[in-house]
Amino acid sequence: MQNLIDIKGVTHAYRTRHGALPVLDNLDISVPQGEFCAVVGPSGCGKSTLTRLISGLMKPNAGEVWLSGEKITSPRKTVGMAFQNPVLLEWRTIIENVVLPLEIVAPSMPKAQANDRAMHLLEMVGLKGFESKRPSELSGGMRQRASLCRAIVHKPEVLIMDEPFGALDNFTREDLWQTMRDLRAAEPFTAVLITHDLRESVFLGDQVVVLSGRPARTQYVLNVDLPHDRTIDILYEKEAVGMLHVLREQIRIAQGRDGGTDGGAH
């Protein structure tokens, strides 16, 4: 199968006052069409940088990013993004927020059609009846749902998410995992999800990429051979628990610590 996302030998460094700060080092990631790639790694290793490179907001110093057979040198309309902060525009209602990308990507689309599309998504994530509210009237979890709708309203090929559930409490987060699972079944996007939560990566990912500490390399790739219609319960079953153990171990290595000591050794 052709890969929809191909990250080949991407290397990047920031220029800072104290000289170059290498962040990504010869990174390789491939995501086949329609698959869900979860990326985990130590804090500050370069995950957000990676999302900005995939979306074309920045160009890597070396290496290439390919999306559906095209080399990325600048942003394109076929990308959707969601962040930890829902970044909803306070002066727009929820539905006006959701249609925002359509105003850029398809300016000639009739308003009614754009609203229909937005309403359809809002219904899917359980926000029916909230479309005319202001973002400040919604809870954090609801805002993040609206933010996800906005990220996919223009049917992007690639959905890039940078810790979208990171600021939510545990139960809300699990709710949103299930929402994400359902969206994924209904919409055709290929996804990259940055996360700090190993359970999240196993629940949602078809593959989990573990990045090493800064500068980040691809340290380990776990294939999650579980059915797509997962339930939260699956995380407590043997197979998933085994994967979580493996990932935990890899994170320890990425953090530069020996297995088992978990930080206490310093």
Ligand X SMILES: Nc1ncnc2c1ncn2[C@@H]1O[C@H](COP(=O)(O)OP(=O)(O)OP(=O)(O)O)[C@@H](O)[C@H]1O
Which residues in this chain contact another protein in the complex, by CB under 8 A? 52, 55-57, 74-77, 79-81, 83, 85, 87, 89-91, 100-101, 103-105, 134, 136, 150, 154, 160
Q: How far is the CB of 134 from ligand X (least distance, A)?
A: 28
Alpha-carbon distance 198 to 181, whole Å?
A: 16
Q: How far is the CB of 193 from ligand X (least distance, A)?
A: 13
Closer residue to Mg ion (CB): 142 or 194: 194
DSSP strand pairing (19-32 vs 3-16): antiparallel
The answer to whether 207 and 37 have CB atoms below 8 angstroms apart is: yes
Closer residue to Mg ion (CB): 52 or 155: 52
Q: Is 45 exposed, middle or buried (0-12, 13-18, 19+ CB in 10 A)?
A: buried
Q: Of 183, 77, 79, 173, which Cα lies nearest the Cα of 121?
A: 183
Would you count residue 48 as binding Mg ion (CB under 5 A)? yes
CA angle at 183 for the pair 75 and 201, rounded to the nearest 5°: 80
Footprint on this chain of ligand X (rule: CB under 6 A): 14, 16, 21, 23, 43-49, 214
Closer residue to another protein (CB): 2 or 74: 74
Would you count residue 26 as binding Mg ion (CB under 5 A)? no
Alpha-carbon distance 258 to 10, whole Å?
A: 28
Strand partners, 160: 81, 192
Residue 21 site contact among Mg ion, ligand X, another protein, none (CB < 5 to 8 Å, cut-off depends on kind)? ligand X
Residue 32 site contact among ligand X, Mg ion, another protein, none (CB < 5 to 8 Å, cut-off depends on kind)? none
Residue 134 site contact among another protein, ligand X, Mg ion, none (CB < 5 to 8 Å, cut-off depends on kind)? another protein
Binding site for Mg ion (CB under 5 A): 48
